[in-house]
Structure 1
Amino acid sequence: MNRLTTSQGEFDLARFPENPRDPLRAWDAADEYLLRRLEGAEGSEPVSPSGTVAVVGDRWGALATALAVHDPVQVTDSYLALRATRANLARNGADPDSVRVLSVRDTPPERVDLLLVRVPKSLALLEDQLHRLAPALHAGTIVIGTGMVKEIHTSTLKLFERIIGPTRTSLAVKKARLIFCTPDPTLARTPSPWPYRYDLPDGIGVVSGRTVTNHAGIFCAERLDIGTRFFLKHLPERKGPDRVVDLGCGNGVLGMSAALTNPDAAVTFIDESYRAVASAEETFRANTGPDAEAEFLVGDGMADVPPGSVDLVLSNPPFHSHQAVTDATARNMFHGARAALRQGGELWVVGNRHLAYHTQLRRIFGNCVTVAGDPKFVVLRAVKR
């Protein structure tokens, strides 16, 4: 936990799930820059939040917590960000109902008077977010975006300009930058291109040629990533009434493959992204029969799966948290998988060879074997003894 000091006050903040050993803070210079700008820092006119304040893409709830007195609406694709916001509000004694939290799948507010956008890593996610919120903006809406310099590109500014209106940027401060956008109610907008659908390539087992649905912001939304492609060629071929979990499911290709290979399996798709779980459900329903059994959960890894209830976990874990490279997410997923597996249950993982997941799996499970490998990827199997 760390303390954010701003003109709005001092706030103790932490990421979710909270880990005292995690060196990463729950905010960065881009969040600080935006909060200073609202208070009129560096000679600028202060912005008085009034009407409906919408905060989009707030990564760990720092902005929503600092602005809680203005009853903002937070719009997020991340279940972990939602939980972090609620925890940080409680930690700082704020009314838990002072921030109305909406997922990106919920209907956005009908009117927004102040729109604050934390620029996401995914340009596609930003595009879809702006399309969804643009109808709620009016000529008097104040729109301010924020991000680190490495996150804001010409393509970022063009999106704001094409979907909302004239756009300019601030000077960089502590490697952070602000985006100022003036809504143009007369702007002719093309519809959002999301969700995007494509057919899977041949040579990857039972899912070859199947059509997958990808909502904006999920990993490799425009093509099958090469790690999953490699994994699909080496998945276990099991039969019988297994309970299978596609952990960190993305568009659900791994779980769909397990269901098509074993029609008696019950598959659970889990991701912390609302858009990912929506993609997985649409992909699954479009490619399996009406009797196929599946569950779709937005959550914190295996936290909502009963202990000792799963036969097989399939996972292609992420190794980024926004711009930071970290193995913390994968490590939490491995621990959660072990707790959820029955005795003799198996965790199958694909990962970049350099990540050395085998070391963590041996520490957590007491065993790990390499099922397949190439110069870039390895498929690993760990068994709960």
Structure 2
Amino acid sequence: MNSFTTPWGEFDLARFPEDPRDPLRAWDAADEYLLRHLHGSDGEPADLSGTVAVVGDRWGALTTALAAHRPVQITDSFLAQEATRANLARNGVAPDAVRLLSTQDTPPDRIDVLLIRVPKSLALLEDQLHRLAPRLHEGTLVVGTGRVTEIHTSTLKLFERLVGPTRTSLAVKKARLIFCTPDPGVQRPANPWPHRYALPEGIGAVSGRTVTNHAGTFCAERLDIGTRFFLPRLPRHGGPERIVDLGCGNGVVGTAAALANPEAEVLFIDESYQAVASAEATFRENAGSRAAEFQVGDGLAAVPPQSVDLVLNNPPFHTHQATTDTTAWRMFTGSRKALRPGGELWVIGNRHLGYHVKLRKVFGNCEVVASDPKFVILRAVKR
């Protein structure tokens, strides 16, 4: 936890889940730059009356600092929502001071101030601008913020094409602001999201089937090569079993496992609302009304201990712009807790990430199931 100094006061903030060993802060220079601008550091203070929408706030820093203006936060991240709740509480802010929405929820009917933390995914930004632009009016203040490395010509063109005239600020501490003026006359094309594509042949139970991808979901444009390697090599079990597709993305792995074993019950988990919506759409299209669960959450934290037979996992190795193995560690330790004795965790990952070392520490064993020059599939058993 660290102290975040803003024009609205000083706030103690932390990421979620809070880890005192984590050196990463819950805000960065882009958040600081935006708040200074709104307070009038380079001109007149912004009018923050009316409905203030904060989009993509990564750990709740912007929402917490602006809580006096009763903002609506819109995020794709369950962890960002939980961080916001925790940061509001630790700073003595009533939870009802802020309205928390996901990217799958209906946005406010009218938005008077739109603040956007530019996401890593240009597709997610595109989808959100399509959804939010009809709620803007000529007087809406629209300001985006991000690190210099996150704001590209394509980013600005997207604002220009979907909202209105756009310009950028000078860079300050490697951060930049985006200023956009809503133009009611903009003729927006149809929103291309969600996107559907057919899977290639020769990849197991889902060969030739169609997956649905909401914007921002991993491998939303095409099947990534790691999953392509994983699918035909999934474990072949029969009979009743409870399977978790952990970090499910568009749900293609869990759907493949379900189709290969008609008696299996599959739980799809991801911290992304867009991902879980994609997984449910993919599963329903290919498995119909068959029973399955879809959960937005913090890994396996909400799954009862010793209730799972098989976990399938392709762990992320970055959080926003930071490369970290923290999420993988939590997924591995959570899997061991959730698995029944004899249950298995199957992991696909890049060879250079060294997941075998971590799995041996957590499970006491690790077997290489298959490998190629880039990827490795690992199997750990709960003894």
Q: TM-score range by the shorter chain?
A: over 0.9
1:286/1:35 Cα in 2 relative to 1: closer, same or farther (>3 Å)?
A: same
2:26 corresponds to: 26
Match of 2:363 in 1: 365
Q: Does 1:44 align with 2:43?
A: yes
User: Quick one: distance in 2 between partners of 1:115 and 1:2?
Assistant: 27
Please give the alpha-carbon distance, in whole angstroms, between the structure 2 residues aligned to 1:363 and 1:250. Answer: 27
Q: Secondary structure at the match of 1:263?
A: coil
One-letter code aligned to 1:25: R
Give matches, 1:31-110, under 5 Å. Answer: 31-41=31-41, 43-110=42-109
**Structure 2 equivalent of residue 229 of structure 1:** 228
Conserved? CA contact 1:26–1:60, under 8 Å: yes
Deviation at 1:186, TM superposition (A): 1.3
Q: Provide the C-alpha distance between the structure 1 equivalents of 2:245 and 2:95, rounded to a whole number of angstroms.
A: 32
The residue aligned with 1:263 is 262
**How many Å apart are 1:293 and its aligned residue?**
2.2
Q: What is the CA distance between 1:288 and its match in structure 2?
A: 1.1
Letter of the aligned partner of 2:219 in structure 1? C
- Asked if 1:151 is matched to 2:150, the reply is yes
What is the aligned-residue identity percentage? 75
SS of structure 2 residue aligned to 1:161: helix
Separation in structure 2 between the aligned mates of residue 22 and residue 263 of structure 1, nearest angstrom: 42
**TM-fit CA distance, 1:78:** 0.3
Q: Would the aligned equivalents of 1:265 and 1:293 in 2 still touch at CA under 8 Å?
A: no
In the TM superposition, residue 193 of structure 1 has moved relative to its aligned partner by 0.3
Q: For residue 377 of structure 1, what is the amino acid of its counterpart?
A: F
Aligned counterpart, 2:280: 281
**Cα shift at 1:156:** 0.1
TM-score (norm 2): 0.99
Instruction: Return the offset for 1:48.
Output: 2.5
Q: Distance in 2 between matches of 1:135 and 1:227?
A: 38
2 CA distance for matches of 1:230 and 1:325?
A: 23
Provide Cα deviations, 1:204-250, integer angstroms capped at 9, x if missing partner: 11111000000000111000011111111211000010000000000
* Equivalent AA in structure 1 for residue 222 of structure 2: R
Where do residues 369-384 of structure 1 align in structure 2 (5 Å cutoff)? 369-384=367-382
Residue 337 of structure 2 is aligned to residue 339 of structure 1? yes
The CA distance in 2 between the partners of 1:365 and 1:305, in whole Å, is: 18
Question: 2: distance between equivalents of 1:23 and 1:354?
Answer: 23
Task: Supply the distance in 2 between the matched residues of 1:337 and 1:293 (Cα, whole angstroms).
Answer: 22
Q: TM-score with structure 1 length normalisation?
A: 0.99
Equivalent residues in 2 for 1:211-250, closer than 5 Å = 211-250=210-249
CA distance in structure 2 between the aligned counterparts of 1:44 and 1:246, rounded to whole angstroms: 50
What secondary structure is seen at the aligned counterpart in 2 of 1:303?
A: coil
| 8 A Cα contact 1:268 1:297, kept in partner | yes
In structure 2, the residue corresponding to 1:233 is in which secondary structure?
helix
In structure 2, what is the Cα distance between the partners aligned to 1:362 and 1:239? Answer: 27
Report how many residues are paired: 383
The separation in 2 between residues aligned to 1:77 and 1:236, in whole angstroms, is: 31
Structure 1 residue 320: deviation in Å? 1.1
Distance 1:211 1:178 in 2: 39
SS in 1 for 2:292: strand
Deviation at 1:304, TM superposition (A): 1.0
In structure 2, what residue type is equivalent to 1:300?
D
- Shift of residue 289 of structure 1? 4.0
Report the AA paired with residue 252 of structure 1. G
Counterpart CA distance in 2 for 1:72 and 1:319 is: 31
Question: Corresponding residue for 2:320?
Answer: 322
1:266, 1:294 within 8 Å by CA — same for their partners in 2?
yes
1:119 matches 2:88: no
- Separation in structure 2 between the aligned mates of residue 230 and residue 215 of structure 1, nearest angstrom: 23
Q: Note the C-alpha offset of 1:316.
A: 0.5
Secondary structure (helix, strand or coil) at the match of 2:161 reads helix
- Unpaired runs of 5+ residues, structure 2, are none
Match of 1:308 in 2: 306
Question: What is the one-letter code of the residue matched to 1:376?
Answer: K
Looking at structure 2, the residues matched to 294 and 256 of structure 1 have their Cα atoms a distance apart, in angstroms, of: 10
Structure 2 residue identity aligned to 1:236: P
Residues in 1 aligned to 2:74 and 2:306: alpha-carbon distance in whole angstroms: 35
Q: Distance in 2 between matches of 1:78 and 1:154?
A: 25
Q: Which residue of 2 aligns with 1:297?
A: 295
